[in-house]
Amino acid sequence: MANSTKITTYLLCIFFLLGADFLYAQCNSNVPQVGGTVTFVWDTSNGLPSPVTISGVKRHYENYILVNVIGGITYSVNSPHIRVCFNQQLLNLSGNNFTPNQSGQVRIYYDGWFNNTTLTISVVSGQNTADSQDVPPAINNKWRTHFYKGTDNTNAPPSSYKYLGYFDLPESFNIKKSSGTFEIYSQESTDVRMFASPDFFLTRALMRSTRKGLYYVNLGADDGTRLKIDNTLVYDNWNNISQPKWNPVNNQIINLSGNSLMFYEFYNGGLPLWYLFETSDSDKIIENTISGEQTLCAGGSNGTPVTGDDFNRRNQYGFTPTFAFQWYYTTSIGGVPTDINGATQKDFTPNPQTAPFNQTGTYYLYRRASVTFKNIGMSQQTESVTSNPIKIIVRNQPTAKTKPSKKSFCQDENNAKITITVNNGSGGQPPFTLNYTIDGVTQQYQSNSNIFEIPINTNQAGEFHYQYVSITDGNGCTNQLNQSDIITIKPLPTAVFSGQDTTLCLNTPAAQIPWVTFTGELPFTVKIKAAKTGNPPIEIDETLAENENSLTINHPPNDEGEFTYELLWVSDKNGCKTFFTNQKVVVNVVKPSITLTTPENITWCLPEIVSAVYDEGSGHTNVSENSYVLPSGDTTLDVTINPVPCCPNPVLKWTINNNLSNVRTGQPSTHTGISFENDTSTDKTYNITYWLECNGQKYNYVTREVRIIPRPQINFSN
């Protein structure tokens, strides 16, 4: 029993070793290929490809026939003595037939005893089961055209049992054939697996398009075509019941999403054939890209136009498309759209004076571009493309109120200003810029405060027109103000000074001294400072009479001294005040004066006795020379006269011992016989009073004393 087990194991090992060598011998790729590579041509003569005959086939696997095959199709060889290898794997045979599961190339080996024999290979039946019929190519914008043999317009959708494989076409193609074949591919191979006659077939092409928007396409064929986009029929000339028959058509309109799956079907009932699909960037109807993001001010001036591209307008066969724009807005991305009434032009200018842009907020502006068209075999329809959003920010428009401190000012008046209140005193984005004009000359003032003041120039008198043009905030929002003020700058009163320093004589009538003449609106009020030298000054406000425009100093000269009158200011009816500096008039009230010569008081002795007579009756001695007589021309008693301008030649008068009955005029030296008697034994005193007379006034009474000393007493006796 043990020996039989060993024998069995030995035989199995020999079998496996020989079996492996045997398999290698059947699928040996190191032997030569006989004949050319077999690629079947599927025609419609009998519904199957014509058989292919290969001569020179050697026995015992010494060469092989290389055949392009498609998975799922059954092939037949006219000999039972064959082996079929796919790569290094033997395919199962069903008699003389084999059906590969994959597309590619098979090697057919002959294992009979006849050398240099001839084998015939044919297609028996079946369909492509290796490829998916509903998958576009991995590359976008490229057609995968699935080919169905021997079908016609009655098979819709195509029957899978007629499916052979595919060929790829670019996005745009234009195929014309009157002969030749189609190259059929399978399972992403770059090798042709079959040829197909172009005379009777159906194709179903799929393409994933990255184009987005509305496009014109030229499409169709000399037999039936139809186009679906994302499983929606958009063009149908399948049975050639629509015009134009048997011809492609231009400018059919399609709407692509940027990821659209396109199905394009075509059947051909015989040669010649013409089959096309054409589109390009230049066929885009509209990109519908808009630009013009901006910030507006509610109630302000119009914004700038939001612009975009225009339609690429073309006519269709038998129909004139209608192209239309509609602008709309939302208040958030993806929000509820609201059409803007009347906004149907290519461009749109936001108007912040009308809804919705007269309200503050953030808006997203869109443009809907729509086309109403009619493709072949379809009802009239409208497709639209929505633009990108454009942000429109609407801000509050600044407001401004203007208020002059008053509307009438005096020339050179201080604190003349106009108060500007922005946004009722708070809020908004500074800085705020006020644009205004003064008599048409543009001015500008900027402030970071909501309340600010602009100065009024009062240097020049006149009437000035202030026009407040606009207020602009830090966001650039400008509000046209249309406000104005008439500001009057009244001239200051003027003064022409004519007064001169004046000298008046004491106690003369009051003097009227013309001082100053005013111009301006009457009545005038003046302020005068008056002072006597050595005394504190006083200030006097005085309003002139309604019709009086000059000022006269009325000075009664009843007090001797220097008096100064100074005009401090003058104001007119409007209260406009002109101030003055050092506008003074000095009035000197004076009198002429007398200066006594030295010595002021005089002492004289009586002259020597010339004769003396004794009076017995009285017992006195009478001396005839008891008087002092002033010699003629003697100036001892003269005085110095000091005249003044108002009294240049005063008259000197004098009297002795106030004897007003004997008033002398002129200097004593001009008089004769002036004597001073003293017949007493004691000194006798005389008072001489001098004064001056001028303008009817008497001035400067001065007195000097004249003392007469007696002689010694002389007594005579009997």
Among 394, 395, 212, 390, residue whose Cα is nearest residue 307: 390
User: What is the distance between the alpha carbons of residues 145 and 149, in angstroms, rounded to a whole number?
Assistant: 13
Among 564, 566, 533, 536, residue whose Cα is nearest residue 551: 566
User: What is the distance between the alpha carbons of residues 26 and 110, in angstroms, rounded to a whole number?
Assistant: 9
- Segments of the chain with pLDDT less than 70: 1-25, 44-46, 151-161, 240-243, 245-246, 609-616, 618-624, 713-718
Task: Supply the pTM of this predicted model.
Answer: 0.62
Sequential DSSP letters for 120-176 = EEEEEEE---SS-TT---SSSSEEEEEEEET--TT-SSPPGGGEEEEEEEESSEEEE
Length of the chain: 718
Q: Is the dihedral of CA 635, 638, 643, 649 positive or negative?
A: negative
Two structure tokens written together for 260? 């659209």
Look at phi and psi of residue 476 and say left if phi exceeds 0, alpha if psi is from -120 to 50, else beta.
left
Q: Is the dihedral of CA 277, 280, 285, 289 positive or negative?
A: positive
pLDDT at residue 554, rounded to an integer: 92
User: What is the distance between the alpha carbons of residues 434 and 468, in angstroms, rounded to a whole number?
Assistant: 8
Burial (CB count within 10 angstroms: exposed 0-12, middle 13-18, buried 19+), residue 440: exposed
pLDDT at residue 157, rounded to an integer: 54
Bridge partners (DSSP) listed for residue 480:
470
Q: What are phi and psi of 332, to 5 degrees?
A: -160, 155
CB of 699 closer than 8 Å to CB of 692: yes
Bridge partners (DSSP) listed for residue 513:
553
pLDDT at residue 6, rounded to an integer: 38
CB of 349 closer than 8 Å to CB of 306: yes
CB of 73 closer than 8 Å to CB of 126: yes
Burial (CB count within 10 angstroms: exposed 0-12, middle 13-18, buried 19+), residue 205: buried
pLDDT at residue 456, rounded to an integer: 96
Whether residue 592 has a cis bond before it, omega within 30° of 0? no
Two structure tokens written together for 278? 């054409």
User: What is the distance between the alpha carbons of residues 314 and 225, in angstroms, rounded to a whole number?
Assistant: 22
Other beta carbons within 10 angstroms of residue 452's beta carbon come to: 18
Spacing of C-alpha 375 from chain mean position: 50
pLDDT at residue 154, rounded to an integer: 60
Q: What are phi and psi of 30, to 5 degrees?
A: -85, -5
Q: What are phi and psi of 256, to 5 degrees?
A: -110, 145
Among 597, 590, 592, 595, residue whose Cα is nearest residue 651: 592
Helix ranges, 205-344 (H): none
Summarize pLDDT for 96-110 with one digit per residue, the tens: 999 999 999 999 999
CB of 402 closer than 8 Å to CB of 419: yes
Residue-range domains of the chain with CATH? 26-126 (2.60.120), 142-280 (2.60.120.1560), 287-395 (2.60.40.2700), 400-487 (2.60.40), 494-590 (2.60.40.2030), 594-709 (2.60.40)
pLDDT at residue 200, rounded to an integer: 81
Sequential DSSP letters for 557-619 = --S-EEEEEEEEEEE-TT--EEE-SS-EEEEEEE--EEEEPSSSSEEEEPPPP--EEEETTTT
User: What is the distance between the alpha carbons of residues 79 and 76, in angstroms, rounded to a whole number?
Assistant: 9
pLDDT at residue 222, rounded to an integer: 83
Bridge partners (DSSP) listed for residue 454:
418
Whether residue 100 has a cis bond before it, omega within 30° of 0? no
Summarize pLDDT for 669-715 with one digit per residue, the tens: 999 989 999 888 899 999 999 999 998 999 999 999 999 998 776 55
Beta-strand pair 212-221/284-286: antiparallel
pLDDT at residue 197, rounded to an integer: 84
pLDDT at residue 46, rounded to an integer: 57
Looking at residue 425, what DSSP letter applies?
G
Two structure tokens written together for 590? 């004076």
CB of 662 closer than 8 Å to CB of 655: yes
